[in-house]
Structure 1
Amino acid sequence: MSVPFLDPALTTPLARLLEGLHDLGLAWVPSLVAVVVVLRLLQLPLTLHQVRQQRARAAARDDLRALAHRYRRRSDPASQRRRLEEQRTVLRSHGVRSWGCLVLLLPVPLWLALYHLVSQLAAGSVAAGVSTAVVASFAGATLAGVPLAARGWSGDLTHLAVVLGLALTSAMLGFLTQRAAAAGTPLADDAPAAVLHLQQWLPAVSAVGVVAAAGAVPVALLVCWVANAAWQALQQGVLTRASAAIS
């Protein structure tokens, strides 16, 4: 299946990169991990931008709290409009941009292209920019004796152990990363209770979702999930220590 905006504009460069890494002598699993690392390195400037935005919001928190206290007994529309205007002024003065979170969406097409490419290879399809020889080689690749193209929960004990191990590793790393990120970015004092509950439950719900979805994707894609989750966990650990050192 072809996705118009992914194939071949984004899929082809990723296919060339994956094939080139494999041609250098890397096995398919390390090649997949290396592609994930490359994408994460490309995304690093956007991540650093988001970190700066989070620190700017943290610096503005006291001013925003004072503003909320000043308007706590004013519920008329005019007062609420003035409060929003003053809130925007406070955020701008601290360098917070209204579009700050949107930049994190920029790499999404690249990740979709990678998942599309890996799914095509696992299905034995000739993806954009990939030769039939590469598809055949990928089809014979294994992890602990389990084909990278294999998917689902049905199979022998080795198959189940590999799929479950990759799924649980990715889920646990994601859970810990999201918990650490939430602890480092506390919500505003006047945040709705529903938002607080969402922040508390989202890591667990995401982890369950990863395990549930693991049976529907090829093992090769699970390798990408683990590599991506490991990078995010390491990155969050570095950011947490840096924030603690600054404060």
Structure 2
Amino acid sequence: MCYDDNARPPMPPGANGTAHGEDLVLTATDGNRFAAYLARPDQPTNAQIIIYPDVRGLHQFYKDLALRFAEAGITAIAFDYFGRTAGLTSRDEPFEFMPHVQKLQLPTIFSDVAAALAYLQTNGGQGRSTFTVGFCMGGSLSFMTGTAEFDLAGVIGFYAGMSRNFGGAGTLLDQAAKIHYPALGLFGGADQGIPPSDVQSFDEKLTSAGVEHEIIVYPGAPHSFFDRRADQYAEASTDAWKRVLDFIKAHTH
């Protein structure tokens, strides 16, 4: 599990706008009903972002993160992965996520992403530059979305694992060369679950494929360093926020 129930995203530097959030239930084209959370800025820019949670699905960390993006002027929607197998139940810590993770299939995840994107586009987001960002498993899925045709402006991943095979679709390393949007990857140098060689291989595959990208590794930072409680990694978190917001600004039309 990437974040526990007490984890909260750090505050983005310089963001002082106001925003409002609401819980949603969205429906994919196959009829799947799944939970989502929308955060709207009171003063929106021309950017919007889809947030991919960690392996536990949509919980409070990601609702708060959506609000932090919205306070920076970026409309944000976070969505849950497990509507098909766990319904609309809570994703608080007692939720046993792994049996549901093992049933995930990339095409149905993309179907839910399409529903989230459609909701954004039909609720004021038509014509905005769309980004994805994810954490842990969600980081992998954010990058994998970059292999599909979603008309994105960029894909972002925090501590994206390289070895998970999503229902036979291959791993992130298998698919890296197929990413065709600008990419930003952020990793902890002391992450016990992601070997530095995997990060280097990901970087090299993107370079070989001609994908515009930037890979940042924070020396000494562990998995899940991006947490308001982790004072010792506050500098890394501030830098990560700055890089994410700069990346979005640079690729927003």
TM over 0.5: no
TM-score (ref. length: structure 2): 0.25
Please say which structure displays the higher CA radius of gyration. 1
Instruction: Please identify which structure carries the higher strand content.
Output: 2
